[in-house]
């Protein structure tokens, strides 16, 4: 086996995928029976469709026909709606049988959710509360996928990509989601306070597992994350600490640290982190392609751990060379 250069295979595969990757995810049009289509469990926004809305759409379709095909993800034998739940229900009401669909084959869940969110954005306006809720759902999904090794990228910036917002905005959602009390969340839902106001309130509160640091609300700098000792996956209690030394530095020291942390340092860390991640990925694939699943899996675990550590420090992958799958 050693006379075959796996590296050469991997190199040419990477290049080839630039072309075939595009081809794989192009959709095609197909006429499908309504009975095999399934609604999307991530489409909470359909809750807002009233029977009157659906009837109105049904009348329109009866008069003008279905003007825009439904968008479907054909995956694992399922035909799942990405865009068009309202039309789907209207068509069911009309008892139509076969409908025009734009079908994607085996679209990864991340792409599906991004399209779902974007499609809804065109026809619905999201309230801030809905955005936070969607953020929480995506976070739950990606965290679960990461835990079983189905996904090994940075969570926050992926969600940012999916929702079409900046990474900074996603961090704000995170802080609001984690820290905002129920009554404040209700105020946000009712539109009594804005996302910015909610964020400031959320910043004012200390994080749940932290003991000593109250982060100044005037900080606003991007390096505001402090490290929280994460519970170890094996369930040992070494992650939980009663030892003040292991928790975040006291406030005075933190202010000095923050001011000393320059943008240069952040860029340095980001670059080295990205390099390390890219090399580890290459290493992982070398073993993966040479059938050494054991070593490949161990390396995969190292990559996940690296991401965890970096993410908890507020760092994410940068640059375009890390943009492989």
Find tokens 């369930």 and name the residue: 235
Q: Which long-range contacts (CB under 8 A, 24 or more apart) does 213-216 make?
A: 213/248, 213/249, 213/250, 213/251, 213/254, 214/251, 216/255
Taking CB under 8 A as the rule, does residue 35 contact other proteins? Answer: yes
Q: What is the dihedral of CA 252, 208, 160, 304, to 10 degrees?
A: 90
Give whichever of 30 and 49 is closer to other proteins, judged by the CB atom: 30
Taking CB under 8 A as the rule, does residue 265 contact other proteins? Answer: no
Find tokens 């309202």 and name the residue: 86
Strand partners, 103: 28, 72
Among 3, 208, 242, 252, binds other proteins (CB under 8 A): 3
101 CB-contact burial (10 Å; exposed 0-12 / middle 13-18 / buried 19+): buried
Whether the CB-CB separation of 31 and 100 falls below 8 Å is answered with yes
List the interface residues with other proteins, window 175-194 (CB under 8 A).
none
Give whichever of 32 and 159 is closer to other proteins, judged by the CB atom: 32
Taking CB under 8 A as the rule, does residue 1 contact other proteins? Answer: yes
Among 167, 270, 289, 314, binds other proteins (CB under 8 A): 289
Interface map 112-151 toward other proteins (x if CB under 8 A)? ----------------------------------------
Q: Which stretch, 24-32, 132-140, 209-217, 297-305, contacts other proteins (CB under 8 A)?
A: 24-32
Taking CB under 8 A as the rule, does residue 30 contact other proteins? Answer: yes
Give whichever of 19 and 236 is closer to other proteins, judged by the CB atom: 19
Among 4, 121, 214, 293, binds other proteins (CB under 8 A): 4
Q: CA quadruple 51, 52, 53, 55: dihedral positive or negative?
A: positive
Contacts of 46 (CB under 8 A, 6+ apart): 39, 85, 86
Question: Which stretches does DSSP call E strand in the chain?
Answer: 28-33, 37-38, 70-75, 78-83, 98-105
Tokens, residue 27: 């959709």
Find tokens 């954005």 and name the residue: 121
Whether the CB-CB separation of 73 and 80 falls below 8 Å is answered with yes
Least distance from C-beta 23 to other proteins, angstroms? Answer: 5
Closest CA to 204 of 190, 185, 220: 220
Taking CB under 8 A as the rule, does residue 32 contact other proteins? Answer: yes
Interface map 94-113 toward other proteins (x if CB under 8 A)? ----x------x--------
**Strands 98-105 vs 28-33: parallel, antiparallel or unpaired:** antiparallel
Interface map 58-87 toward other proteins (x if CB under 8 A)? ----------------x----x--------
Give whichever of 105 and 219 is closer to other proteins, judged by the CB atom: 105
Taking CB under 8 A as the rule, does residue 26 contact other proteins? Answer: yes
Give whichever of 78 and 168 is closer to other proteins, judged by the CB atom: 78
Query: How many amino acids of this chain bind other proteins (CB under 8 A)?
Result: 31
Interface contacts to other proteins, rule CB under 8 A: 1, 3-4, 6, 8-9, 12-13, 15-17, 19-20, 22-24, 26, 28-33, 35-36, 74, 79, 98, 105, 289, 291
């Amino acid at each position: 086996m050693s006379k075959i250069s796996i590296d050469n295979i991997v190199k040419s595969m990477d290049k080839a995928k630039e072309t075939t990757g595009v081809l794989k995810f192009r959709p095609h049009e197909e006429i499908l029976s309504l009975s095999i289509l399934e609604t999307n469990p991530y489409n909470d926004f359909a809750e807002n469709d009233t029977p009157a809305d659906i009837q109105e759409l049904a009348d329109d379709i009866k008069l003008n026909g279905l003007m825009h095909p439904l968008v479907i993800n054909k995956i694992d034998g399922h035909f799942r709606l990405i865009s068009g739940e309202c039309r789907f229900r209207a068509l069911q009401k009309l008892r139509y049988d076969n409908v025009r669909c734009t079908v994607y084959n085996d679209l990864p869940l991340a792409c599906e959710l991004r399209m779902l969110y974007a499609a809804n954005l065109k026809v619905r306006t999201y309230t801030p509360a809905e955005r936070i809720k969607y953020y929480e759902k995506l976070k739950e999904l990606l965290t679960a996928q990461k835990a079983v090794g189905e996904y090994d990228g940075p969570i926050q910036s992926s969600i940012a990509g999916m929702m079409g917002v900046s990474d900074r905005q996603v961090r704000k959602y995170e802080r609001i989601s984690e820290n905002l009390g129920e009554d404040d969340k209700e105020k946000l839902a009712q539109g009594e306070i804005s996302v910015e106001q909610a964020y400031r309130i959320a910043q004012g509160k200390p994080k749940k597992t932290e003991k000593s640091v109250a982060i100044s609300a005037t900080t606003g700098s991007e390096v505001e994350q402090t490290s929280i000792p994460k519970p170890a996956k094996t369930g040992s209690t070494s992650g939980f600490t009663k030892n003040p030394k292991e928790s975040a530095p006291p406030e005075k020291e933190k202010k000095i640290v923050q001011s000393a942390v320059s943008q240069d340092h952040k860029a340095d860390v980001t670059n080295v982190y990205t390099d390390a991640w890219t090399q580890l990925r290459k290493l992982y694939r070398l073993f993966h392609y040479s059938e050494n699943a054991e070593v490949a899996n161990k390396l995969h675990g190292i990559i996940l751990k690296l991401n965890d550590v970096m993410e908890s420090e507020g760092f994410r992958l940068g640059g375009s060379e890390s943009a492989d799958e």
